[in-house]
A and B are shown apart, each in its own frame.
Chain A
């Protein structure tokens, strides 16, 4: 694996991990600020970021608490948003092999971005490298930025929207999806997933549209098949 080509691939993967980590910094800061506005301590803000570590779930739970919602409602909101982690686990399990302790530790990094970078790579070893590049980069930068937001920044202003930073996350996901769109089956499944998710946004609880999108895999049966190769 020490060939020059392999080194180039690995460098590209590390850059993806770093770029996506940097792109979540404003959201981490915004989350820290949201915690102080919901009267949560810096310790609690860090508890969410380190222990829960799922992005959207934090905002949902803190939003519910900040609006005076019950503890139960906050827990349900967070868990529903994180249901997709189960699907990510199924996708990533084949490359997260190793000892029980290793798998237990690696699982905490199971988030949108680590799944996205991991599954965007071709070789299993690179997929594993991508999973950890994305996961570790975001774990470090998300937690650091939460701390900055909760402990140091007093008001968010319009940090995220003024600079267009809310467009960086969908752009990053699109970049990771892009190579798959060359394949007709994958393209059909992708379009189906997007349509299902958008259709459910107005009627379903936050988080459910993403999980339900997985059902688009069924489209692979009717989509045009590749002439040779994997089914």
Chain B
């Protein structure tokens, strides 16, 4: 078997177990109150972390570049109550423009 397929099969199996652990093991049981609080709040922390990392990180470096301009434009669009698709397009346009000018 090729190196690629060994990585695919081993890593995919482990990753699938990570994905399925909670849905398979918790099942239909009612969650304890503290876990419910955790699951209502955790998406905010995870989403904000995804926003920060995908805007500012390049490998192990933090850098402020054209992506931040796009995110700023997206924030303005959201504040002006624009829809999801508009927000995403505005971000791409702002970033592309900022890059073209630099």
What is A's interface to B at a CB cutoff of 8 Å?
12, 15-16, 19-20, 23, 40-41, 44, 47-48, 51-52, 54, 57, 61, 65, 71, 74-75, 78-79, 82-94, 96-97, 100, 103-104, 106-108, 110, 112, 115-116, 119-120, 161-178, 180, 185-187, 189-198, 201-203, 206, 209-210, 213-217, 220, 230-231
Contact = CB atoms under 8 A, between A and B. Distances in A.
Q: B interface, how many residues as a size bin? A: 35 or more
A41 B8 CA distance: 12
Nearest to B3: A71
A191 B49 CA distance: 9
A115 B46 contact: yes
Given A89-B19, A90-B22, A91-B39, A40 B45 contact: no
Contacts of B56: 198, 201
Given A85-B18, A171-B74, A103 B24 contact: yes
B34 to A, nearest CB: 10
Contacts of B93: 164
Given A57-B15, A93-B23, A171 B28 contact: no
The majority secondary structure among interface residues of chain A is helix
Contacts of A108: 16, 19-20
Given A78-B7, A89-B23, A197-B49, A167 B71 contact: yes
A100 B27 CA distance: 8
A172 B3 CA distance: 35
**Most chain B CB within a 10 A radius of its CB, from A115, A120, A193:** A193
B52 A198 contact: yes
Contact of B8 (A52, A92, A187): A52
Contacts of A170: 50-51, 54-55, 67, 70-71, 74, 91
25 contacts: A16-B84, A41-B2, A41-B4, A44-B4, A47-B12, A57-B15, A65-B3, A85-B15, A97-B28, A107-B20, A107-B24, A162-B99, A167-B67, A167-B74, A171-B70, A171-B92, A178-B78, A180-B44, A193-B45, A194-B51, A197-B49, A197-B52, A201-B53, A209-B53, A209-B57
